[in-house]
Amino acid sequence: MTQQHPITPPPELVQRWSEQFEAGRSLYAMFEDIYRAGADAELEACCEWLGQKVLLQHQSDVVPALRAARRPKPPSLKEQALDALESVKQRTTDPNIIEPLCRALEQLDD
């Protein structure tokens, strides 16, 4: 009897990856997907364990917080622009350049 690791990919996923590789997809892209799938499976297993075993009364707070911390969203375009503006501020103090950019960016939705 063989023991299967708890995050072994299902046969359908292995088949899909095999087909993608045979169709010419790069090994690097394949490894990224496989690595991500394993990490996501581990995160979901941790969230499930936390929710069932440890923090039943706090599950609604802790599980989403863990998921958000381990899979942060990329910065919004506004956040990226504000970071870029900080770099511009280090190069110039001209308020005619800085002020309009600051006001425009602050008005954008995230």
Can you spell out the DSSP letters for 38-86? Answer: HHHHHHHHHHHHIIIII-GGGHHHHHHHHHHHHSPPPPPHHHHHHHHHH
Residue 77 — pLDDT band, cuts 50, 70, 90?
confident
Give yes or no for residue 1 having a pLDDT over 50.
Answer: no
Residues 66 and 88 both lie in one domain: no
7-21, 43-57, 87-101: least confident range: 43-57
Q: Does this model's pTM top 0.75? A: no
Does residue 97 belong to any structural domain of this protein? yes
Does residue 64 belong to any structural domain of this protein? yes
**Cα 30 to Cα 35, 66, 86, distances in angstroms:** 9, 26, 37
Residue 55 is part of which domain span?
Answer: 11-70
Tell me, what's the pLDDT at 64? 79
In this structure, what token pair is assigned to residue 12? 């359908």
**Cα 83 to Cα 33, 37, 77, 99, 109, distances in angstroms:** 29, 31, 10, 15, 15
Does residue 4 belong to any structural domain of this protein? no
Give yes or no for residue 86 having a pLDDT over 90.
Answer: no
Residues 56 and 39 both lie in one domain: yes
Residues 16 and 36 both lie in one domain: yes
In the predicted model, what is the mean pLDDT of residues 34-61? 76
Average pLDDT over the chain reads 82
Residue 42 — pLDDT band, cuts 50, 70, 90?
confident
